[in-house]
Amino acid sequence: MGDQPQRETWRDWLPADALDPGELLPRSTVLALAERYGAPTDERTMRYWEAEGLIPRPTHDHTGEGERARYPWWQVDLLWQVRQFKYWKWPNEKIRRHTPTEVRRLARTTPVDREWVLAPPDPVREHVRALLGSGLPYAIGPGLLPGDQPFVAEVFKDELRRTLARVAASFDQRYSLRVAEFTITLRTVEGEHYPVGSFPIDSDSTKGAGGS
């Protein structure tokens, strides 16, 4: 078992400058949202992760009937993060050290700030992956020296713009989602963000670009 106090809740993990999380969510809603955003988790697993200290425990609402456990909106993000760590085969001890840092980061944001930080639903994610193709990561260079900013090599920029235009056109066609701009940011597992660049989408360039 982890070394978190037995009855420690998410409120005990908050930084001093945390924002009000707004309306709290029952466990069933958190699990439903986690499944929607690509991190399906059952209640038994969630309770186990809480007992191990990988994620914080809920507070409880005793004023009404039904579910009493209550979580902030960012508990969904934590479930997604832990799923990723498990996929990378991180041991529980390492996850336990990392998730409080994630809580401090998320608690200083609002749900709008993290729009699309969560994985989109599986069909959307798979569709984007198919359109981008396996060669796209090679268009983004990591920099030659430690500390260099990542970049898109000039020779790849036109192809990258065409590919993103196809993604935008497909989003519009399949999901009625109009995309004005893509911003590419690399994020390390330690939580560091490295901006690569922004790519505006010309509405004219999406016409006839829906093919993959």
Give the contacts of 200 (CB within 8 A, at least 6 positions apart): 180, 181
Residue 75 and residue 30 in contact, taking contact as beta carbons nearer than 8 Å: yes
Statement: residue 197 has pLDDT above 50: yes
Mean pLDDT of 104-131: 59
The rounded mean pLDDT for the chain is 75
Residue 25: which H helix or E strand, with range?
Answer: strand 25-26
Q: Domain 10-106 maps to which CATH number in 1.20.120.160, 1.10.1660.10, 1.10.8.60, 2.30.31.20?
A: 1.10.1660.10
From the list 113, 11, 24, the residue with the least C-alpha distance to 72 is 24
What tokens were used for 138? 């090679």
Q: Which residues pair with 9 in a beta bridge?
A: 57
pLDDT at residue 72, as a whole number:
93
Q: What percent of the chain has pLDDT over 90?
A: 24
Question: Where are the domains positioned within the chain?
Answer: 10-106, 122-206
From the list 69, 97, 70, the residue with the least C-alpha distance to 81 is 97
Q: How does pLDDT run across 120-133, given as a tens digit for each residue?
A: 445 555 555 555 55
Tell the burial category of 88 from Cβ atoms under 10 Å away from its Cβ (0-12, 13-18, 19+).
Answer: exposed
Give the contacts of 142 (CB within 8 A, at least 6 positions apart): 148, 150
Give the contacts of 185 (CB within 8 A, at least 6 positions apart): 193, 194, 195, 196
Task: Report the C-alpha gap between 58 and 66 in whole angstroms.
Answer: 15
Statement: residue 116 has pLDDT above 80: no
Task: Report the C-alpha gap between 27 and 34 in whole angstroms.
Answer: 10
Helix (H, G, I), strand (E, B) or coil at 102: helix
Task: Report the C-alpha gap between 141 and 149 in whole angstroms.
Answer: 9
Q: How does pLDDT run across 54-67, given as a tens digit for each residue?
A: 999 999 988 877 78
pLDDT at residue 22, as a whole number:
86
Statement: residue 195 has pLDDT above 60: yes
- Return the higher-pLDDT residue of 122 and 7: 7
Task: Report the C-alpha gap between 130 and 36 in whole angstroms.
Answer: 20
- Return the higher-pLDDT residue of 181 and 110: 181
Distance of CA 200 to the CA centre of its chain: 22
Helix (H, G, I), strand (E, B) or coil at 9: strand
